[in-house]
Copies of this chain bind each other. A is one copy, B any other.
Amino acid sequence: MNDASAPQTTTRLGADQLLDDLYDGGARICFANPGTTELGLVSSLARDGRIRCVLSLFEGVCTGAADGYARVSGKVPLTLLHLGPGFANGIANLHNARRAGSRIINLIGDHATWHLEYDAPLTSDIRSLADPVSREVIYLGQTDGITSGVSAAYAATNQDEGGAATIIFPTDVVDAPAAPNGEGVKEQPHQLRPVADAALDVAAAKLRDAANVIVLIGGNALSEEGVRAGGALADALGGRLLMEPYPAIVTLGGDLPVVERQAYFPDDVIAQMGDALVVLAGARMPISYFGYEGWPSQLVPEERLVRLAEPADDAVSALSALAGRFPGAEGSASAASAQPVASPEAGASLSAASVVEELLVQLPQDAIISLEGSSMGGPWLKQAHRAKKHRVITNTGGAIGQGLPCAVGAAIAAPEARVVSLQSDGSAQYTLQSLWTMAREGLKVTVIIAANHRYAILQTELTRADIPLDDPIVSQLTDLDHPRVDWVSLARGYGVEARLARTNGELAEALREGLSLDGPLLIQAELP
């Protein structure tokens, strides 16, 4: 029977082994929403004390925060989630993390191995749930397999462009005694594949006499170095520099070259690409986001693609090497034209454009913007080159509810940086519990909710398909104005101070306040 009187600290347990191995592999933070089957690991986390634990009120916040942390730091965070249903709540943001190539290790406590056959209420097929968002799902069936399991998990996150691995640990395995095994797990930095000279030769030959070139960057070419290298190549070829439509994290602004974003709708992308040769530098080939009848999925025909570097390749080196083959490329990258920025008229009502203008004025150097939703996404990325140098995180996988938790993770990964969460109101709802973690951890996040009180992207799609927005059922399913959500009240409910801004002047003042606080502030920006 339960021996509750046995001291917990005398015996080294499987949970201690698991933590040692995870720590040795590089993990320093755990975004957690534990339940009963995770308490053995919680107890070990407490004894160990080396891994920072961040609690969230909902699992989607944990996984989104882990994604944001991974994108900003390049390190491997942990998530700790409760059985199949708890993990399921984190799947949407793990889907985005998969598309971003974020290295994450998910930890899921499971029933004791001997209890599974009884099909207790919380039993479910965890593997089936985890597979679609995991490079590998590892079931720790015995205590002496913990170290090799953790090694395999880290190795899985290094496959191709990276991704999450999921470890399922039954309670009896982590509660069993575990002698130190002397094996240990080694930290394995993520290695990008070098691009072979032969591939450079092929690309150079194709581009030699090209009249119209687009350099489309993705992967590691979204870094500051990559943007400069991409700009240099585009300059050398007399072409344009574009980025994939949903970068995991991209550096923009300051003296960096202007980067045009790939458009969204297929007709717009086709027009944007024209008859250019498109150099894929860490980016996937342009495809349509959804399949629309009468439009192709692949938006640039194969013969116009120059496949320089895959997302798992070292696109930065490839870009630099390729630019070196074109005389005059070195250092010729066009800096952004220094267009002046100025606050929009204080008394006027807010618009997406005026929010952007004010943020251009106030955004501090080296800030990080977590960007989600169509209302501000397009407008910001069109103007980002006019801001001070900053990084932008976008929604890579289209699973909405990414922006707020990614801001949490980014702020923890880069405590010196100011984080701005530029966030549509519809998508903010899926993980609004992020606000509580922002308050709890005192994170320097300024949240701007683009409050238009509707699913604007759906209304755009419906209008394109000639479906009337004023039909009662269409309106019932796309309008969010009845009742109108009061984000100021929601934020305060979570301990985050908040301001309502209807005019440019109100926004400017609230933004100044937010950007100077040593903690979070939410601004509800009322948009038409």
Contact = CB atoms under 8 A, between A and B. Distances in A.
Nearest to A171: B291
A287 B95 CA distance: 35
A420 B21 CA distance: 48
A290 B36 contact: yes
Contacts of A117: 297
Contacts of A172: 291, 293
A11 interface: no
Contact of A398 (B85, B295, B476): B85
A477 B32 contact: yes
Copies of this chain in the oligomer: 2
Contacts of A480: 57
B489 A34 contact: no
Contact of A114 (B83, B297, B396): B297
A340 interface: no
A342 interface: no
Interface string A374-411: 00000000000000000000001111110000000000
A316 B400 CA distance: 45
A53 B473 contact: yes
A169 interface: no
Interface of A: 1-8, 32, 34-37, 39, 42-43, 45-46, 49, 53, 55, 57-58, 60, 83-86, 88-89, 91-92, 95-96, 99, 111-112, 114-115, 117-118, 120-122, 124-125, 128-129, 131-133, 171-172, 175, 246, 267, 287-295, 297-298, 396-401, 426, 429-430, 432-433, 436, 439-440, 457-458, 461-462, 464-467, 471-474, 476-477, 480, 482-490, 492-495
7 contacts: A2-B293, A3-B294, A8-B465, A39-B458, A45-B477, A88-B91, A121-B289
Given A39-B462, A42-B473, A485-B493, 9 more contacts: A1-B267, A1-B295, A36-B458, A37-B290, A39-B461, A43-B467, A86-B399, A88-B129, A95-B124
7 tightest A-B CB contacts, nearest first? A115-B291, A483-B495, A85-B399, A112-B291, A490-B493, A489-B493, A88-B91
